[in-house]
């Protein structure tokens, strides 16, 4: 290891103690303390982890919102009636914090109009009618000599690929890998925790595309000038750890570390704490402690896209839940309407159901089946009538303190909830650090009074934002 | 395909616990203690348990109706208050006074503050403190444990006519059990310097409130609740630990005057109070650090009242003081924010 890494952030020397046991059980698990404090252990339900990723065919009509990422919406490059080929940019980035959008299939642009979005409001979207003869062939690419590219060129290539954080954050990847000069990055952390129940898309990507993950990790390391990369994987995915280990480069700059299975292990700040033992200060970014965190799915996809010079047109989505007949991980073209995905995966016909984008802890329920799969959709969960949590009676807070015992950020959700009930939003923000809540949902998960704490916090944050604006 | 789509906010899965579940398990955990008390003291204890519990449930129902709120009896909390209150009263406490205690517990201890979760002090202790002040004689009138005729006759005090003082029962008690002095172990120690043996405590052959003598049952029940996550084990641990330490310190200072820690732990209502009353969720701190401070305070204050106060027993007031200090303790023991360096407050 070179000198650039601060002493206290050196790799854990005792890693060999915790290497996976041949029969799958971790040895010396009693001593395994490398994790963040508090958190919860929801049932995993990762039944789809055992079967390979399948490909989903093209829908007859795709919907591509111009704002699938955090930042300014993309600007359309096409007009209605224009023919496009798979992989062709159909909208370009509007400034630095923005990414382009590529056509997911050969077809003709039907319209650019307002369409329903997962979050509710109708948003400007490009509607593509797909030719029935459209093939998997990518008809457009912009190859560059990525092996000899400068960090700046790599970052440009990442922006051109339209890549965003595929874990669900949808923050443009090139922006995340652009580090201001005052920060020196020593470690790239690759997040393979996938701590949300049900989701297995990252697990399958690690199993099936470890070589691409290495390429993507190396490119990201070069872009940020990191000396090493640590891939953090929860200990319920030891087969993925094994698959990655087989592909690790000989120079030892990329390592894989097993972390305990605990929600929210995959939250950036929690994973940094688990792997390096440092806490990112409140209101600060990982780069303040010399770290950049990227999702394994994002880097594995980058490893596929950048050498070929093509854009992001599809992603792996876990389609699962009790209401699905053919649960599994699917390569889904971006823009595929939810209805098509669910019909393909076989939705059981039942009365009431809940459809969730993302995982069950932080995912969002959607009201319409006409919304498309966008870049940030990691999973589609369908709960049937039996599994939708029944409307539960809300009791007053009995101050049991369970929420305090599980909040990974060290907040006092009980107090925050009581302040929210009294509408004392300023006190929530100023004295009780509401801004540090990242809405992981642990407090609501354990609350015996069934108080919708996270929702109260979202509302309070919104009110505080609108007041300060 | 036209499904009815439900819209919920995240998280979409939950652990599945509920207030009713917690409270029901506390009730279940109290039942063995109540049963032991009945076996020990007979019909009088049974009548007291039933009357006080019904008084609490009835009062809860009355106040809900007055406030126009939906019934909250299914949450079992009024049942807990009733059982705990009855277990903390003398076994032959006049039934009408027990009913008053139950009413006051719910009225002043709970309904006044807005019901479950909002109360500042443990309702059962509020009720007991009230009758301690209102009926000082009745609340220190004890009957012998394991009297031979305990299942065939009531103690004379039990059916005292409402608003009347109970009759003097010293003659009845002497005849019921030979050599009965009518003094609790704490009183015997304080006034006559006679120590009750640990064996007597463990078999329950002592003079005490209805539910105070079964230390082993209390610990077993508490252990069950703690193991299921319905009770914060830190609270009894802190109370019993700090009381034992304080007792050890005094015994070291003056072994002739002060009793051993085991006597302090087993006598009076310390065990029942530490496991079931101080651990009431609504009236104890929510922060893990605050819980230790709260428990330690209660333990030390109990020993102080017993050693230096006019009363023989101090658990009730110690817990009420702890309850009153809870908001303050919570305030100064807020958890450390993730990423915040020690000693620096953002």
Query: Computed over its alpha carbons, how large is the radius of gyration of chain B?
Result: 21
**For residue A21, what pLDDT is reported?**
40
Q: What is the bridge-based pairing of β-strands A54-55 and A328-333?
A: parallel
**For residue A26, what pLDDT is reported?**
45
**In the structure encoding, which two tokens stand for residue A325, read together?**
């007949």
**For residue A22, what pLDDT is reported?**
37
How far apart, in whole angstroms, are the C-alpha atoms of residue A441 and residue A366? 18
| Three-state secondary-structure class, residue A383 | strand
Preceding peptide of A422 cis, ω within 30°: no
Backbone angles phi, psi at B108, to 5 degrees: -85, -30
The answer to whether residues B14 and A197 touch, using CB atoms and an 8 Å cutoff, is no
Query: Computed over its alpha carbons, how large is the radius of gyration of chain A?
Result: 22
Alpha carbon B311 to its chain centroid, in Å, reads 17
Q: What is the DSSP letter of B188?
A: I
Q: What is the mean pLDDT of residues B319-340?
A: 94
Q: Who wins on pLDDT, A254 or B73?
A: A254
**For residue B177, what pLDDT is reported?**
79
The H or E element that residue A72 is part of is: none
**For residue B73, what pLDDT is reported?**
65
Q: What is the mean pLDDT of residues A26-54?
A: 79
**In the structure encoding, which two tokens stand for residue B78, read together?**
């009024």
Interface A-B: count of C-beta contacts within 8 A: 177
| Three-state secondary-structure class, residue A152 | helix
Q: At what angle do helices B77-88 and B95-109 cross, to 10 degrees?
A: 130
In chain B, count H helices and then E strands. Answer: 14, 1
Q: Mutate which of B1, B4, B13 to test chain A, going by most A C-beta atoms within 10 A?
A: B13
Write out the residue limits of the CATH 3.10.20.600 domain(s) in chain A: 54-141+311-383
**For residue A420, what pLDDT is reported?**
94
Q: Which fold has domain A54-141+311-383?
A: Ubiquitin-like (UB roll) (3.10.20)
- Look-up of token digits 């690790």: A248
The answer to whether residues B249 and B229 touch, using CB atoms and an 8 Å cutoff, is no
**For residue A71, what pLDDT is reported?**
93
Residues of A in contact with B287 (CB under 8 A): 401, 404, 412
pLDDT class of A120 with cuts at 50, 70, 90:
confident
Burial A93-126 (b: 16+ CB within 10 A, else e): bbeebbbbbbbbbbbebbebeebbbbeeeebbbb
Q: What is the DSSP letter of A11?
A: P
Backbone angles phi, psi at A288, to 5 degrees: -70, -20
With CB atoms and an 8 Å threshold, state whether A455 touches B9: yes
With CB atoms and an 8 Å threshold, state whether B10 touches A363: yes
Residue of A nearest to B6 (CA): A354
Q: Mutate which of A387, A395, A430 to test chain B, going by most B C-beta atoms within 10 A?
A: A395
Residue B85 pLDDT exceeds 70: yes
Residue A38 pLDDT exceeds 60: yes
Beginning with the edge strand found earlier in the chain, give each strand of the sheet holding A61-65 in spatial order.
A61-65, A122-130, A107-116, A83-84
Residue A401 pLDDT exceeds 70: yes
What is the number of alpha carbons within 13 Å of residue B263 lying toward its C-beta? 22
How far apart, in whole angstroms, are the C-alpha atoms of residue B292 and residue A81? 71
Mean pLDDT across chain A: 89
Write out the residue limits of the CATH 3.40.50.11540 domain(s) in chain A: 153-308
Q: What is the mean pLDDT of residues B223-228?
A: 95
Q: What is the mean pLDDT of residues B188-196?
A: 85
How far apart, in whole angstroms, are the C-alpha atoms of residue A72 and residue A67? 7
Which tens digit of pLDDT belongs to each residue from A12-23? 444 444 444 433
Residue A5 pLDDT exceeds 70: no
Residue A30 pLDDT exceeds 50: no
What ipTM is given for this predicted complex?
0.89
CA distances to A268, A276, A293 from A273, rounded to whole Å, are 9, 5, 12
When CB atoms are compared, the residue of A347, A407, A432 closest to B1 is A347
When CB atoms are compared, the residue of A349, A399, A454 closest to B9 is A454
Residues, chain B: 346
Which stretches does DSSP call E strand in A77-164?
A: 83-84, 89-92, 101-102, 107-116, 122-130
Beginning with the edge strand found earlier in the chain, give each strand of the sheet holding A187-192 in spatial order.
A254-259, A228-234, A187-192, A291-295
Residue A144 pLDDT exceeds 90: no
Q: What is the mean pLDDT of residues B205-220?
A: 89
CA distances to A17, A114, A183, B101 from A33, rounded to whole Å, are 12, 50, 29, 50
pLDDT class of B2 with cuts at 50, 70, 90:
low
Residues of B in contact with A404 (CB under 8 A): 286-288, 335
Residue A31 pLDDT exceeds 70: no
Contacts by A200-203 with C-beta closer than 8 Å and gap 24+? Answer: A200/A46, A200/A48, A200/A49, A200/A318, A200/A320, A200/A329, A201/A53, A201/A297, A201/A315, A201/A316, A201/A317, A201/A318, A201/A329, A201/A378, A201/A379, A202/A167, A202/A295, A202/A296, A202/A297, A202/A378, A203/A46, A203/A49, A203/A237, A203/A240
With CB atoms and an 8 Å threshold, state whether B338 touches A353: no
Alpha carbon B244 to its chain centroid, in Å, reads 19
Residue of B nearest to A120 (CA): B7
In chain A, count H helices and then E strands. Answer: 13, 17
Closest approach of chain A CAs to the CA of B15, in angstroms? 5
**For residue A254, what pLDDT is reported?**
94
Of the listed ranges A348-352, B33-37, B78-82, B282-286, the one predicted with least confidence: A348-352
How far apart, in whole angstroms, are the C-alpha atoms of residue B47 and residue B98? 10
Q: What's the angle, vertex CA B269, arms to CA B212 and CA B34, rounded to 5?
A: 30
**For residue B343, what pLDDT is reported?**
54
Q: What is the bridge-based pairing of β-strands A61-65 and A122-130?
A: antiparallel
Provide the CATH number for the domain formed by A153-308 in this structure: 3.40.50.11540
Closest approach of chain A CAs to the CA of B80, in angstroms? 14
Residue A137 pLDDT exceeds 90: no
Of B286, B77, B72, B290, nearest to A447 (Cα)? B286
Cross-strand bridge partners of residue A250: none
- Look-up of token digits 């005052």: A182
Q: Mutate which of B5, B6, B10, B285 to test chain A, going by most A C-beta atoms within 10 A?
A: B10
CA distances to B61, B66, B162, B277 from B69, rounded to whole Å, are 10, 8, 31, 26
**In the structure encoding, which two tokens stand for residue A442, read together?**
């642990």
The answer to whether residues B25 and A384 touch, using CB atoms and an 8 Å cutoff, is no
When CB atoms are compared, the residue of B21, B118, B334 closest to A412 is B334
Residue A431 pLDDT exceeds 60: yes
Residues of A in contact with B340 (CB under 8 A): 279, 281-282, 410
Which tens digit of pLDDT belongs to each residue from A51-76? 999 999 999 999 999 999 999 999 99
Q: Who wins on pLDDT, A310 or A8?
A: A310
pTM for the model: 0.89
């Amino acid at each position: 290891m070179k000198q650039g890494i601060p002493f206290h952030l050196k790799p854990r020397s005792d890693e060999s103690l915790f290497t996976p046991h041949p029969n799958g059980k971790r040895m010396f698990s009693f001593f395994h303390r490398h994790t963040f404090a508090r958190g919860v252990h929801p049932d995993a339900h990762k039944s789809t982890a055992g079967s390979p990723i399948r490909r989903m065919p093209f829908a007859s009509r795709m919907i591509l919102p111009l704002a699938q990422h955090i930042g300014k919406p993309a600007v359309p490059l096409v007009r209605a009636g224009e023919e496009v080929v798979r992989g062709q940019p159909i909208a370009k980035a509007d400034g630095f914090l923005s990414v382009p959008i590529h056509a997911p299939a050969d077809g003709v642009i039907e319209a650019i109009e307002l369409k329903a979005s997962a979050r509710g409001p109708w948003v400007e979207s490009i509607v593509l009618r797909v030719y029935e003869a459209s093939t998997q062939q990518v008809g457009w690419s912009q190859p560059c000599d990525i092996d000899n590219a400068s960090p700046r060129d790599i970052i440009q290539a990442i922006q051109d690929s339209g890549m965003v954080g595929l874990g669900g954050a949808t923050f443009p990847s090139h922006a995340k890998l652009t580090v201001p000069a005052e920060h020196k990055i020593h470690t790239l952390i690759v997040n393979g925790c996938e701590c949300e129940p049900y989701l297995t898309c990252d697990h399958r990507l690690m199993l099936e595309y470890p070589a691409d993950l290495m390429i993507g990790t190396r490119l990201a390391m070069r872009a940020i000038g990191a000396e090493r990369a640590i891939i953090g994987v929860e200990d319920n995915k030891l087969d993925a750890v094994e698959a990655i280990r087989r592909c690790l480069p000989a120079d030892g700059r990329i390592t894989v570390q097993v972390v305990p299975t605990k929600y929210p292990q995959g939250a950036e700040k929690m994973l940094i704490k688990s792997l390096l033992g440092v806490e990112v200060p409140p209101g600060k970014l990982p780069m303040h402690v010399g770290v950049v965190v990227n999702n394994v799915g994002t880097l594995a996809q980058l490893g596929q896209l950048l050498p070929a010079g093509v854009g992001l047109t599809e992603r792996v989505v876990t389609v699962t839940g009790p209401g699905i007949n053919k649960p599994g991980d699917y390569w889904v073209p971006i823009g595929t309407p939810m209805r098509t995905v669910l019909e393909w995966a076989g939705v059981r016909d039942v009365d009431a159901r809940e459809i969730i984008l993302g995982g069950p802890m932080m995912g969002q329920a959607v009201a319409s089946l006409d919304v498309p799969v966008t870049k940030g959709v990691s999973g589609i969960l369908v709960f049937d009538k039996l599994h939708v949590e029944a409307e539960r009676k809300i009791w007053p807070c009995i101050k049991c303190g369970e929420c305090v015992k599980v909040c990974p950020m060290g907040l006092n959700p009980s107090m925050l909830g009581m302040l929210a009930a009294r509408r004392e939003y300023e006190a929530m923000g100023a004295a009780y650090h509401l801004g540090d809540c990242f809405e992981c949902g642990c407090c609501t998960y354990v609350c015996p009074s069934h108080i919708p704490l996270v929702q109260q916090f979202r509302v309070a944050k919104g009110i505080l934002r609108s007041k300060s604006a | 395909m036209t499904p009815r789509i439900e819209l919920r906010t995240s998280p979409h899965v939950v652990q599945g616990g509920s207030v009713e579940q917690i409270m029901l398990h506390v009730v279940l955990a109290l039942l063995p203690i109540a049963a032991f008390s009945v076996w020990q003291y007979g019909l009088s204890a049974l009548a007291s348990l039933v009357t006080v519990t019904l008084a609490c449930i009835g009062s809860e129902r009355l106040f809900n109706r007055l406030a126009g709120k939906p019934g909250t009896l299914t949450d079992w909390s009024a049942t807990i208050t009733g059982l705990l209150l009855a277990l903390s009263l003398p076994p032959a406490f006049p039934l009408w006074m027990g009913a008053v205690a139950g009413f006051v517990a719910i009225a002043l201890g709970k309904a006044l503050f807005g019901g479950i979760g909002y109360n500042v002090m443990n309702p059962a202790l509020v009720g007991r403190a009230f009758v301690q002040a209102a009926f000082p004689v009745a609340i220190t009138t004890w009957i012998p444990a394991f009297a031979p005729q305990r299942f065939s006759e009531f103690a004379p005090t039990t059916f005292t006519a409402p608003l009347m003082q109970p009759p003097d029962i010293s003659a009845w008690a002497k005849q019921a059990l030979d050599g009965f002095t009518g003094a609790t172990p704490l009183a015997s120690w304080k006034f006559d310097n006679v120590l009750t043996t640990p064996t007597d405590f463990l078999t329950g052959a002592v003079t005490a409130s209805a539910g105070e003598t079964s230390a082993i049952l209390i610990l077993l029940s508490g252990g069950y609740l703690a193991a299921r996550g319905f009770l914060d084990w830190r609270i009894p641990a802190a109370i019993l630990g700090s009381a034992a330490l304080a007792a050890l310190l005094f015994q070291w200072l003056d072994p002739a005057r002060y009793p051993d820690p085991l006597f302090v732990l087993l006598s009076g209502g310390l065990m029942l109070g530490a496991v079931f009353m101080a651990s009431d969720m609504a009236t104890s701190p929510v922060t893990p650090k605050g819980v230790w401070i709260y428990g330690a305070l209660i333990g030390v204050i109990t020993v102080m009242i017993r050693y230096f106060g006019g009363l023989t027993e101090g658990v009730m007031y110690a817990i009420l003081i702890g309850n009153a200090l809870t908001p303050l303790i919570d305030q100064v023991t807020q958890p450390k924010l993730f990423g915040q360096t020690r000693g620096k407050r953002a």
